[in-house]
Homo-oligomer: A and B are copies of this chain.
Amino acid sequence: MLPVARAARLRALVVSRHGTAAMSLRTARCLHSRSSHLNSAEAAATAPPATHEAEYAPSLLSEIAARRARAGKLVAGIAAASDSDMFKGPQTGKPKAKRWDDHLSAESKSREPCSLKQAAKHLKQPGLISLGGGLPSSELFPLDELNMKVAMPPDFSENATASHGQQVSIGKYDVRDRDGTYDLSIALNYGQSTGSAQMLRFLTEHTEIVCKPPYADWRVCQTIGSTGALEQALRMFLDKNRGDSVLTEDFSFSTALETIAPLGVKAFGVPVDDQGLIPEAMDELLSNWDAKARGSRKPHLLYTVPSGQNPTGATQGLERRQAIYRVAQKHDLFILEDEPYYFLQMQPYTGRGQPDAPAPSNVEDFVSSLIPTYVSMDVDGRVMRMDSLSKVLVPGSRLGWIVASEQIVERYQRHAEVASQGPSGFSQVIVHKLLDETWGHEGYLRWLMNLRLEYTKKRDALLAACEDNLPRDLVSWTPPAAGMFLWFTVDHTKHPGAGTRSLEEIEQEIFDSCIKSGVLVARGSWFQTEKDAPLTSLHFRATFAAASPENMNAAIARFGRAVQDSFGRR
């Protein structure tokens, strides 16, 4: 244990400023270099309890830092097994998650652990020589070190990074030679399907900061991004031979729909409004489910994107989420919470030329400003949350994570062992170096705060372009509170072909005309959940993520002209 005075000093340090925090963490690890594996029980017995009822407390960051200091240096070598329980605060008084045996597919239930990966447990035995797994010797890796220049607070801008970004270095044997926790010799060898212990620690702590799950046996597992995680999750719960189906928004992420269809199960759409899924409609649909007419048994799985839904841009508010969760409880649905845009919750839209809403003044305010996640209200452990770095750091990391109950994560992990084998080691070690060792939790939250403001600017630029260029009597939209997308509803009843031409035809005409005039927007029909049903409303989706304000203005002008042309307005 650290002396009390020193621990208090550390705690004070880590909440002060980012740079200091990272340093003090490193110092703390040096002071006390024992394995956290050995000390997790001890840590759990002495750390202040992290009750789930509590709102985000400024002390949580310092509590995590103190917990790390108490646990001592994280010792995790090549392919070391790890799980979130090694890194979580105490879960005293929380219930355990329900079991989901009836919800799982035959495929998922039949998975056995990998013999070779299970054998790795013997590696803990002191003095054991392994001639077991076919792991290459790190000596034969052709890289000696990686260096990178990264953005630092307070100025995360590209220019600041280019001119005075921080240089950080990842050596081959930093663990052996420089008292590091992670290095190339470990990251570039084989790993576990959970991903490395080093990244798992950071993500477990991040989950405590953001989600605070109200049940005890939650766990985190790294993924290769939410596209891959969703495919695994669907196979875990859906069984075509059982007549399974899945519920989702009536316009849903097209790639998700294209993942579901080949599994031989149907997706059914729940009506949405400006806040996404309508709980009453969902309840009614499920209460009156006619399996024969639907050709599927009553759904036991809900797939939803709660924040900045793709494609509608809708964000479910707190009460909406609570109501949907209650409907899920009533009908015993398991929830797949897909949240790539969670941290792209933006500043409230104040209207053109109006003063901006005040930005969060510190990371505590920022975290408090976020709408609670489903996991944070998940007393049953009926949610699997999919998180990803694609939208908030770099898509090319192919690195994400899930949060769910121990049972669900264990099943997921068994599948990942024979599929992805976990994310790239290059990605993990680079992201760890940046998020954990350079920025720390506070620095990463500041990065996300900065992103909030950047996306607010982008959204506002697209909204301005729409106000300037679109015929308001034909095209309507709601300013999105999160995400990357603006969803247009075009009033098809005013189309000269209304009643004689199908909406698909009119959509196609407008889309073709857009392409011809040089703008690509996504067609609403791509996202229609029930593909067999005729289209009953006319939509297009535009993103404000990538184009410059000038280009957005030009592009929306082209889109506006394409709509007007089709409606015979020009």
Interface residues of A (CB under 8 A from B): 106-108, 110-112, 114-116, 119, 122-123, 125, 127-137, 139-151, 156, 158, 161-162, 165, 172, 187-191, 224-225, 227-228, 231, 241, 254-255, 258-259, 261-264, 310, 390-391, 393-399, 415, 417-430, 434, 447, 451, 454, 462, 484-485, 515, 518-523, 526, 542-547, 551-552, 554-556, 558-559
- CB pair B148–A161 under 8 Å, yes or no, is no
Which of the residues B116, B397, B551 comes within 8 Å of A255, measured between beta carbons? B116
Which of the residues B258, B394, B420 comes within 8 Å of A112, measured between beta carbons? B258
Cα of A75 to Cα of B421 in the assembled complex, Å = 32
Which of the residues B150, B310, B554 comes within 8 Å of A134, measured between beta carbons? B310
- CB pair B421–A398 under 8 Å, yes or no, is yes
With A130-B546, A264-B107, A526-B115 given, is the CB distance from A417 to B135 under 8 Å? no
Minimum distance in angstroms from A78 CB to a CB of chain B: 9
- CB pair A146–B146 under 8 Å, yes or no, is yes
Which of the residues B116, B419, B546 comes within 8 Å of A135, measured between beta carbons? B546
Name 10 interchain pairs, CB-CB below 8 A, sorted by A: A115-B254, A115-B526, A123-B520, A130-B520, A135-B546, A136-B484, A255-B417, A396-B426, A396-B429, A398-B422
Which of the residues B149, B261, B419, B551 comes within 8 Å of A145, measured between beta carbons? B149
Minimum distance in angstroms from A114 CB to a CB of chain B: 6
Q: List chain B residues, Cβ under 8 A from A111.
A: 258, 262
Cα of A104 to Cα of B544 in the assembled complex, Å = 40
- CB pair B519–A129 under 8 Å, yes or no, is yes
Cα of A397 to Cα of B368 in the assembled complex, Å = 37
Q: List chain B residues, Cβ under 8 A from A165.
A: 144
Extra contacts, 10 of them, besides A129-B547, A143-B394, A395-B425 (Cβ < 8 A), are: A112-B258, A129-B518, A130-B546, A130-B555, A228-B420, A262-B415, A398-B420, A398-B424, A426-B427, A427-B427
Q: List chain B residues, Cβ under 8 A from A127.
A: 518
Cα of A511 to Cα of B391 in the assembled complex, Å = 48
Q: List chain B residues, Cβ under 8 A from A552.
A: 129, 131
- CB pair B262–A122 under 8 Å, yes or no, is no
Which residue on chain B has the smallest CB distance to residue A169? Answer: B147
Number of copies of this kind of chain in the complex: 2
Minimum distance in angstroms from A126 CB to a CB of chain B: 9
Cα of A106 to Cα of B423 in the assembled complex, Å = 29
Minimum distance in angstroms from A227 CB to a CB of chain B: 5
- CB pair A396–B425 under 8 Å, yes or no, is yes
Cα of A265 to Cα of B342 in the assembled complex, Å = 40
Q: List chain B residues, Cβ under 8 A from A144.
A: 148-151, 158, 161-162, 165
Query: Which of A115, A116, A425, A426 has most B Cβ within 10 Å?
Result: A426
Q: List chain B residues, Cβ under 8 A from A390.
A: 136, 190
Cα of A111 to Cα of B231 in the assembled complex, Å = 14
Cα of A214 to Cα of B129 in the assembled complex, Å = 45
- CB pair B190–A137 under 8 Å, yes or no, is no
Minimum distance in angstroms from A325 CB to a CB of chain B: 27
Minimum distance in angstroms from A311 CB to a CB of chain B: 9
Which residue on chain B has the smallest CB distance to residue A392? Answer: B136
With A394-B425, A546-B136 given, is the CB distance from A129 to B554 under 8 Å? yes
Cα of A343 to Cα of B462 in the assembled complex, Å = 53
Which of the residues B108, B119, B188, B262 comes within 8 Å of A262, measured between beta carbons? B108
Which residue on chain B has the smallest CB distance to residue A116? Answer: B254
Q: List chain B residues, Cβ under 8 A from A415.
A: 262
- CB pair B263–A107 under 8 Å, yes or no, is yes
- CB pair B189–A394 under 8 Å, yes or no, is yes
Which of the residues B140, B187, B227, B254 comes within 8 Å of A451, measured between beta carbons? B140
Minimum distance in angstroms from A310 CB to a CB of chain B: 7
With A395-B190, A425-B394 given, is the CB distance from A129 to B262 under 8 Å? no
Which residue on chain B has the smallest CB distance to residue A112? Answer: B258
Which of the residues B119, B149, B188, B434 comes within 8 Å of A397, measured between beta carbons? B188
Q: List chain B residues, Cβ under 8 A from A394.
A: 136, 141-143, 188-189, 425
Q: List chain B residues, Cβ under 8 A from A188.
A: 394-397
Query: Which of A162, A172, A190, A224 has most B Cβ within 10 Å?
Result: A224
Minimum distance in angstroms from A514 CB to a CB of chain B: 9
Cα of A263 to Cα of B105 in the assembled complex, Å = 11
- CB pair B255–A110 under 8 Å, yes or no, is no
- CB pair B397–A426 under 8 Å, yes or no, is yes
Which of the residues B133, B259, B399, B520 comes within 8 Å of A129, measured between beta carbons? B520
Q: List chain B residues, Cβ under 8 A from A526.
A: 115-116
Q: List chain B residues, Cβ under 8 A from A542.
A: 131
Query: Which of A261, A390, A424 has most B Cβ within 10 Å?
Result: A424
Q: List chain B residues, Cβ under 8 A from A156.
A: 142
Q: List chain B residues, Cβ under 8 A from A519.
A: 128-131
Minimum distance in angstroms from A541 CB to a CB of chain B: 8
Q: List chain B residues, Cβ under 8 A from A485.
A: 134
